[in-house]
Amino acid sequence: MWVLFVLPGVLLLVLVLGFPAITSLSYSIKAEEAEAVSYTVSHYAGLLKDPFFTRTFWNTAVFVTLSVASHMILGLAVAMVLNTALPAKLLFRLIALLPWVVPDVVAGIIWKWMYDPIYGALNDFLLKIGIINTPVEWLSNPKLALFSVILVNLWRGFPFVMLILLAGLQAIPRNLYEAGAIDGASKWQLFVHITIPGLKKMIVVALALDIVWEVRRFGLIQAMTQGGPGILTEVLSTYTYKQYFQFFRFEYASAIAVVMTVVLLLVSLPYIYMISQEE
Amino acid sequence: MKTSSFFLREFFPKTVLWVFLIALCLYCLFPFAWMLSTSLKTEAEAFRIPPTWIPLKPTLYSYIGIWVRKNFGIYFFNSTVISLATAVLSTFFGALAGYGFSRFFFKGRRFLIGFFLATQMLPGVLLVGPYFKILSRIGLYDTRTGLIIAFLTICLPFSTWMMKGFIDKVPVSMDQSAMVDGCSRMGIFFRIILPVVAPGMVATILFGFLLAWGDLLWALCLTSSEPMITVTLGIARTVGEFRIIWPMLMAGSLVGGMPAIILYIFLQRLLVQGLTAGAVKG
């Protein structure tokens, strides 16, 4: 009986998602311009020799690590503040959520304009309060570009972590803190021994989903820099897109995408395992 | 629920908390304020040095311009049709599968649940290449239908999860009493379950709508002609133009982001549950 309900969804998923995924996998091992169908690992070997890929991979690692770490820190801080007795708590939560709800492209474009060295608001603001003396080239200075993009991604991504950790904080019973305080635990000890263990599951969920999303992040970077200057803000998703649709190297692009997929599945394995065990 | 409040109040003095909150609001809102301000400026004013923070002579010129001079009407229509169709389709199939996962404990259930979860992790760039080739071959490249099919890949796994969560909350005794009355399984699903979870279905449709609405990658790879492109792609293309008219672009971004902002405000309560596949009961 269950087949009637589950099968349409499963079939549809296999058709629209499984089939293209397998196709991509087979592209990635297909020999280019071969007469007969023959298979090769040359595309994967080519990745290792491609300095652009190596650089892009490195950029992605920096982008994801710094983004996720900063999301976690700011997200936890905001969640803890919003978990206190505050007036207008819902309003603050809504305001903190705004950067996250607009489409990626919109977020990227707003910041591209904020960052504009001459006409943008950010430099004007920093000049006025005296933090900088000359306009900063946020997105075209090679040393700064990737970090400027990460700074935008902090703005964009922390609300999601905040939401999840807030839900987790609200589930920690208050009397645990009271009991700890009676036993003479310091505030720091309460934080380390009650708050953090209480949030463990939420932290796993937030970490897994955030890493997956940041690895896949596309629209934000495409709208802001398109990977430039040079390839300094190029990440795996924008690089794969370019290989496909600007250089039409389908086999090579597929190989990059497969590498990305493997990384993503490995990262999300603990999360997938945890959820399916609970079911 | 003020669980850890006493702890925090002692940890940070009240003034520190408020300074933090005000800085946070500034950080979150300032870019939006800048977008709004620019969208109300004339083009000449947007390029003033130093920039004006509040428009000297606010004008709605750009807001009219995006509909009259640019094809925003077409983009909006496309995005709405595509996102809505995707959302309704995936919610329907998601509800079916969700009911199956919620009520039947069959062999391989865990595996299938893991499969649905894993599909959510695949990067879009793994799929766009084959989609481009397949859709071109069957004549669906650069069509709304093609994009709807592609968006199912994002929306279906997620809708299944969300619908399963809502159906889990409906007591099994409702199914059982209907069965005693001679109702078939399909009858139970359509006549008992769906009406009960109708609010959940609406929420799932809206979330699916937003997922599709916010996409750029798929629209960029699978559509190209002006009559077929979506709001996000329309905005992204403007950035690539030789001379960017910022007030117009900001007005477009604001209007294009509005549906998302409004819907999320309504959906706030369900947000956590919806986006974490039920891992976190909101």
A185 touches chain B (CB under 8 A): no
A200-218 average pLDDT score? 91
Q: Stretch A5-15: mean pLDDT, rounded? A: 90
Note down the domain range covering B20: 5-64
Residue B1 has pLDDT above 50, yes or no: no
Label residue B13 exposed, middle or buried (CB < 10 Å: 0-12, 13-18, 19+): exposed
Clarify whether residues B19 and B111 are in a common domain. Answer: no
User: A254 touching B, CB under 8 A?
Assistant: yes
In a domain, B280, yes or no: no
Of A85, A245, A253, the CB nearest to B5: A85
- The nearest CA of chain B is from the CA of A2 a distance in Å of 5
Cβ-based contacts of B235 with chain A (< 8 Å):
105-106, 109, 223
A209 to B268: CB separation less than 8 angstroms, yes or no? no
Residues 119-158 on A with a CB inside 8 Å of B are 119-121, 124, 127, 155
Taking residues A233-249, what's their average pLDDT?
A: 93
Cis peptide before B50 (omega within 30 of 0): yes
**B282 within some domain:** no
B229 and B237 Cβ atoms separated by less than 8 Å: yes
Residue A215 confidence class, pLDDT cut points 50, 70, 90: very high
* Closest to B109 (Cα-Cα) out of A74, A50, A2: A2
Measured at the CA of B208, the angle between CA B205 and CA B213, to 5 degrees, comes to 120
B208 lies in a domain?
yes
- B134 and B240, same domain (yes or no): yes
**A97 interface with B at CB cutoff 8 Å:** yes
pLDDT at B267: 81
| A20 chain-B contacts, CB cut-off 8 A | 126-127, 130-131, 134, 153
B210-228 mean pLDDT: 92
Domain count, chain B: 2
For all residues of chain B together, what is the average pLDDT?
A: 88
The one-character DSSP state at B52 is P
Q: Do B58 and B133 fall into the same domain? A: no
The answer to whether the Cβ–Cβ distance between B124 and A237 falls below 8 Å is yes
What pLDDT does residue B265 have? Answer: 82
Report how far residue B133's alpha carbon sits from residue B124's, in angstroms, rounded to the nearest whole number.
15
Query: Which has more confidence, A229 or B272?
Result: A229
Q: Is residue B145 in a domain?
A: yes
pLDDT of B3 > 50? The answer is no
Determine, yes or no, domain membership for B213: yes
Tens digits of residue pLDDT in A36-45: 667 778 888 8
Of the candidates B1, B20, B277, the beta carbon closest to that of A81 is on: B20
Residue A132's φ and ψ, nearest 5 degrees, are -125, 155
Show residues of chain B in contact with A173, CB under 8 Å: 3
Does residue B163 sit in the same domain as residue B148?
yes
Q: Residue B194's pLDDT band (boundaries 50, 70, 90)?
A: very high
Residues B15 and B53 in one domain: yes
- pLDDT recorded at residue B264: 84
pLDDT of residue A137: 93
What is the structure's pLDDT at B274?
62
- Under an 8 A CB cutoff, do A81 and B10 touch? no
pTM: 0.91
Residue of B nearest to A106 (CA): B253
Identify whether the C-beta of residue B112 lies closer than 8 Å to the C-beta of residue A10.
Answer: yes
Residue A30 has pLDDT above 50, yes or no: yes
Test A276 with B7 for CB contact under 8 angstroms: no
Residue B56 burial (CB count, 10 A)? 9
At B8 the pLDDT is 53
Chain B environment of A10 (Cβ under 8 Å) = 97, 112, 115
Q: Select the residue of B29, B109, B129 nearest A95 (Cβ to Cβ).
A: B29
Higher pLDDT, B122 or A36: B122
Q: What percent of chain B has pLDDT over 90?
A: 51
Does residue B148 surpass a pLDDT of 90? yes
Does B33 lie in the same domain as B131? no
pLDDT in tens, B75-113: 999 999 999 999 999 999 999 999 999 999 988 888 898
Contact: A110, B282; criterion CB under 8 Å: no
Q: How confident is the model at residue B233 (pLDDT cuts 50, 70, 90)?
A: very high
Residues of A in Cβ contact (< 8 Å) with B7 = 177, 181, 187, 190-191, 195
State the pLDDT confidence band at A205, using cuts at 50, 70 and 90: confident
Strand partners, A30: A39
Same domain, B80 and B194: yes
- Residue where a domain stops, chosen among B64, B87, B113: B64
- How does residue A176 score in pLDDT terms, banded at 50, 70 and 90? confident
Residue B241: pLDDT above 90?
Answer: no
Higher pLDDT, B8 or B45: B45
Task: Check residues B274 and A218 and name the one with the higher pLDDT.
Answer: A218
| Average pLDDT of the residues in A221-227 | 92
- Best mutation site among A3, A5, A201 for testing chain B: the one with the most B CBs within 10 Å? A5
Residue where a domain stops, chosen among B40, B64, B88: B64
Give the DSSP letter of residue B281: -
A&B contacts, CB < 8 Å:
328
Chain A positions in Cβ-Cβ contact with residue B25 (cut-off 8 Å): 92, 95
Tell me: do B89 and B210 sit in the same domain. yes
Q: How many angstroms away from the CA of A9 is the closest CA of chain B?
A: 5
pLDDT at residue B5 tops 60: no
Of residues A94, A169, A261, nearest to B123 (C-beta): A261
Q: How far apart are CA B3 and CA B250, in angstroms?
A: 42
Domains belonging to chain A, first-starting first, are 66-233 (1.10.3720.10)
- Give this complex's ipTM: 0.90
Q: Do B96 and A9 touch (CB under 8 A)?
A: yes
User: How distant is the Cα of A237 from the closest Cα of chain B, in angstroms?
Assistant: 6
pLDDT exceeds cutoff 90 at A109:
yes
| Tokens encoding A50 | 């491609």
Q: HSE on the CB side for A266, CA within 13 Å?
A: 7
My answer on whether B205 and B225 are in the same domain is yes
> Domain containing B254 — which CATH number?
1.10.3720.10
Same domain, B33 and B162: no
B216 has a pLDDT exceeding 70: yes
Looking at residue A149, its pLDDT comes to 97
- Residue B2: pLDDT band by 50, 70, 90 thresholds? very low
Residues B60 and B101 in one domain: no
- Cβ-Cβ contacts under 8 Å, A223 against chain B: 216, 235-236, 239
* Cα separations in angstroms, B93 against A10, A106, A171, B120: 9, 30, 33, 16
Contacts of A271 in chain B (CB under 8 A): 117, 279
Picking from B9, B51, B127, the nearest residue to A20 by CB comes out as B127
Whether B34 is in a domain gets the answer yes
- Whether residue B25 is found in the same domain as residue B47: yes
Residue B173 maps to a domain: yes
